[in-house]
Structure 1
Amino acid sequence: MKIGIIGGTGFYNLVDDMKERTVTTEYGDAIVYEGEHAGKEIYFLPRHGKTHDSLAHQINYRANMMALKQLDIDHVIAMCAVGSLNPEIPVGKLALLDQFYDATTNRINTYDKYSVEITQPYCPDLNQTFKNAAETLDIDLVPKANYVCVDGPRYETALEIQLYKQWGMDVVGMTNATEAILARELGLAYAVVVISTDLAAGTTDVPPDLDTHKNVVKDNQEKIKELFLKTVELATDDKPSIAHEAYERALAARAEKLKKAQVTNA
């Protein structure tokens, strides 16, 4: 079984002797680090680039996700740092994403190939595997969180956060909805754990701070690694994910549409 892992630069040494590899796609190149754990091939992809030099709105999301697809990966787990709107997800707390709202307006988030169903954007089987891993390791993991994705690179205003809270959002970030959409268009089973690195604007007197954000991730790095490695160990591919099924339906619907168009034009 092959598993893709997307996260920040701190995961380069997720396991020993990971090898760097460049994957060329029609959308550009992506760097991945390949290794092995629990008898499975793992491929770590640093979403912000090898040296973490791309801001959220500058990431080549299409190249990143297509690179995983070209490696014949169909299960992907990811880590994101977020701001929390929910007091039950304080700084340093981990949560499992359940739904997202995409508030971005200035980025490409599709391959333009076909329409695909995404009622449940995150794979319930992988989510359960994360929960099982967290329970095994006695790691506190909030089981459901709603994520709102914004363009960045600026942080949000207090009014924006107030509105997102009224809409039922728990956390805010700048990357994940885009990844989730592209993953579904490629038929990749996808699940995400987030870590709260600050309290969102207006919910505290302390403004969002990049250094604090980095330090919270660093302080929790070993716990996150343990969770991801245990999830890899417990993961199975004994049945299709809802993502795989949605992808097959999308391909079939597109093929049928093209067939009808050919008949009409004949």
Structure 2
Amino acid sequence: MKLGIIGGTGFYHLFEHMVEKNIRTEYGDVTVFHATTEGKDVYFLPRHGKHHDTLAPFVNYRANMLALKELGVTRILSVSAVGAINPEIKVGSLSLLDQFVDLTTRVKTYGKYSVDLTEPFCPELQEVFVQAAKAINEPLRPKTTLVCVEGPRYETKAEVQLFSKLGMDVIGMTNATEAALARELGMCYSVVTLATNMAPGLTEHPLSLKAHREVVERKRETVKSLMLEAIKLVEERKRCTCHEAYERAMIAKP
């Protein structure tokens, strides 16, 4: 089984031995790190680049996702830092994405056919994350809704107030794009988010990159443990339909 992991730079040493690979796609080159564990080929893809030097609006999402597809990856586990809008979500806590509202304007399709995103995240992988969190005794908030914004600027207080009234739980800049592209390519995809700050206007403390990094560092081992447990638990598809639109499109090709 070939499994993709998408996250930040802290995962380069998820395993003792990871081999760097450069994958060429029609949209550009992508760096991934490969390891074998639990009888699975695992490919870690740093979404912001090897040196974490590409801001969210400028990430080459189409190349990233296609690289995993061309490697034979069928299922993707992802972790992402977000801002918390829902006051029930505390800084440093983990949440499982269930729905999103996408406000980005970037290119986020391969433009070859339409897919159903009524349920944008793979239910089988969502259950894997739930069971993995239980196994390491880490709380994981279920049924979390993301509002995905363009970036790289942060939001105004008025925008966050609006998102809160609309029922959004967290805010980020990457996961809606990845989810849509994964579905177009027939790959299962699920995301756990780490709240590194409260969204602008919800706290007296100003946004701070230093504070963001401190939360990431504090939760690094927890997130690693969660992902390692999830990798153990992931199995081949059973009943999910994440791949069906892609397979129908391939059959329909002249």
Which residue in 2 is equivalent to 1:10?
10
The size of the alignment, in residue pairs, is 254
Following superposition, the deviation at residue 188 of structure 1 comes to 0.7
The answer to whether the 8 A contact 1:116-1:250 is kept is no
Hey, what's the Cα distance between the residues in 1 that align with 2:204 and 2:102?
27
Q: Distance in 2 between matches of 1:100 and 1:238?
A: 23
Quote the offset at 1:196 in angstroms. 0.2
Partner of 2:67 in structure 1? 67
CA contact (8 A) 1:114 1:251 kept: no
Quote the residue 1:33 is aligned against: 33
Gaps of 5+ in 2: none
Q: Shift in Å at residue 246 of structure 1?
A: 3.3
Q: What residue is the counterpart of 1:263 in the other structure?
A: none
Contact 1:4 1:76 survives alignment (8 Å): yes
The sequence identity of aligned pairs, in percent, is: 54
How far does the alpha carbon of each residue in 1:222-261 deviate from its partner, in whole angstroms, 9 at most, with x for none?
0000000100001100425321123334445xx2xx77xx
SS in 1 for 2:222: helix
Q: Secondary structure at the match of 2:196?
A: strand
Distance 1:41 1:214 in 2: 30
Give how far 1:207 is off: 2.0
1:243 is paired with a residue of what secondary structure? coil
Unaligned runs of 5+ in 1: 260-266
1:183 aligns with 2:178: no
Residue number in structure 2 paired with 1:202:
201
Question: Alignment RMSD, CA only?
Answer: 1.2
| CA shift in 2, pair 1:250/1:165, >3 Å | farther
Match in the other structure for 1:228: 227
Q: d(CA) in 2 for partners of 1:181 and 1:238?
A: 19
Displacement of 1:212: 1.1
Larger C-alpha radius of gyration, 1 or 2?
1
Residue 23 of structure 1 pairs with residue 26 of structure 2: no
Q: What residue identity is the alignment partner of 2:69? A: K
Q: Secondary structure at the match of 2:20?
A: strand
The answer as to whether partners of 1:37 and 1:229 remain within 8 angstroms in 2 is no
**Residue 96 of structure 1 contacts residue 142 of structure 1 at CA under 8 Å; is this kept in 2?**
yes
Secondary structure at the aligned position of 1:221 is classed as helix
- Partner residue in 1 for 2:118: 119
Is 2:44 the partner of 1:44?
Answer: yes
For residues 209 and 93 of structure 1, the distance between their equivalents in structure 2, rounded to whole angstroms, comes to 18
1:188-245 CA-to-partner distances (Å, cap 9, x unmatched) read 1000000000000111111222121111111100000000010000110042532112
Amino acid across the alignment from 1:182: L
Deviates most, 239-248 or 195-204: 239-248
Q: Could you list the per-position Cα deviations for residues 78-129 of structure 1 after superposition, in whole angstroms to 9, with x for gaps in the alignment? A: 0000000011111000000000100112x11000111111111000000001
2:113 alignment partner, SS class: coil
Letter in 2 for 1:120: E
Q: Secondary structure at the match of 1:197?
A: strand
Distance in structure 1 (CA, Å) of the matches to 2:209 and 2:242:
34
Comparing both structures, which one devotes a greater share of its residues to helix?
A: 1
Residue 69 of structure 1 aligns to which amino acid in structure 2? K
The corresponding residue for 1:101 is: 101
C-alpha displacement of 1:162: 0.7
